[in-house]
Amino acid sequence: MGNIDPAFVQSTEHRPKSKVVEVNEIPVIDLSESRDESLVVSEIGKACEKWGFFQVINHGIPSELGKEVEIEAKKFFGRDLEEKRKVRRDEFNAMGYHDGEHTKNVRDWKEVFDYLVEDNAQVPSSYEPHDKDLRTLTNQWPQHSVDFRETMEEYSREVEKLAHRLLGLILSSLGLAADKFHGCFKNQLSMVRLNYYPPCPFPDLALGVGRHKDSSALTVLAQDDVGGLQVKRKSDGEWIPVKPCPDAFIINVGDIVQVWSNDKYESVEHRVVVNTTKERFSVPFFFFPAHHVTVKPCEELVNEQNPARFREYNYGKFFANRNRSDFKKRDVENIQIQHFRILD
């Protein structure tokens, strides 16, 4: 990624130059076991409703494990490109290394490595409604280090536990049973992404990640002290930087929780800006359900005064649509939950 391709510049130079407000408003919530759970639930509910984002501290995941993940990630991304591409992902298996060169939609100034929480996960072979075939996604691990795989698998197990706890707290804040959707994550498609953002000489022409929303139930993000994540504030549309908080995770509501909550909690746009002098690492955990799960507004939150705002959709088909769009320019638009909206 040392040279910017002219096509890349052309595709990014017209990005909206939204104002960035230098404040630190994203709530930080203490998850200490000693705290009253009803208070934690209340704090999370307010954060989800106002921001769609919050940070958590005292979450129970050892800081040493996070440091080990960063060390192993730096080793991996520091290897020769030829070596990294031995575990390159493609349109048939979305797991592994990716630097953008072999896709049709080069947008982001970064390299990534993706792996599943549950290996050999099944997904629909296509987004077409009549296609009932399934294919298998398989983790691709680099052969240079046993420590890499062991560290990443340990990390995913720990963050998965935190994700279940956080989802339970979010559901409780909606007045729902904390374990209401626990079964949806059996044979889950949840995955961890290692992000490496090299220094970028043209910060006005590129973004680390363009503006987007997450299709997950929720996302658990670890970032280093360089920072770069920005959240679009719901009240006025300004971009708010999320300042790194030591040993904290950044949590955001995803599309699935927006649908489950029938729009009470919104999946909020966010982006990552690049740095001219410093490299940056981040590690998002995307909490995805199984391929067969039907996503729709919770019946407890729908009534005559508050009718359903979304049609139901199959998550596996949704996943297949978005995955294939990374590798093939298609005639159909990349699907979003807005395509299932009934009421504004």
DSSP 169-195: HHHHHTTS-TTTTGGGGTT---EEEEE
Determine the Cα–Cα distance for residues 263 and 266; give it in Å rounded to an integer.
6
Determine the Cα–Cα distance for residues 197 and 21; give it in Å rounded to an integer.
22
Determine the Cα–Cα distance for residues 127 and 264; give it in Å rounded to an integer.
28
Question: Distance between alpha carbon 313 and the CA centroid of its chain, in Å?
Answer: 19
Q: Which residues contact 13 (CB under 8 A, 6 or more apart)?
A: 205
For 220, the 3-state DSSP assignment is strand
Determine the Cα–Cα distance for residues 10 and 14; give it in Å rounded to an integer.
8
Residue 222 pLDDT: 97
Residue 105 pLDDT: 42
Residue 22 pLDDT: 52
Question: Distance between alpha carbon 166 and the CA centroid of its chain, in Å?
Answer: 15
Residue 99 pLDDT: 87
Residue 82 pLDDT: 94
pLDDT digits (tens, 9 = 90+) for 158-174: 999 999 999 999 999 99
- For residues 322 and 335, the answer to whether their CB atoms sit within 8 Å is yes
Residue 183 pLDDT: 97
**Complete domains list, the chain, with CATH:** 6-340 (2.60.120.330)
Residue 6 pLDDT: 44
Residue 322 pLDDT: 76
What type of residue is 305?
Q
Residue 121 pLDDT: 94
194: how many CB neighbours lie within 10 A of its CB? 24
What type of residue is 290?
A
Determine the Cα–Cα distance for residues 128 and 164; give it in Å rounded to an integer.
31
- For residues 244 and 278, the answer to whether their CB atoms sit within 8 Å is no
Low-confidence ranges of the chain (pLDDT < 70): 1-24, 100-107, 324-334
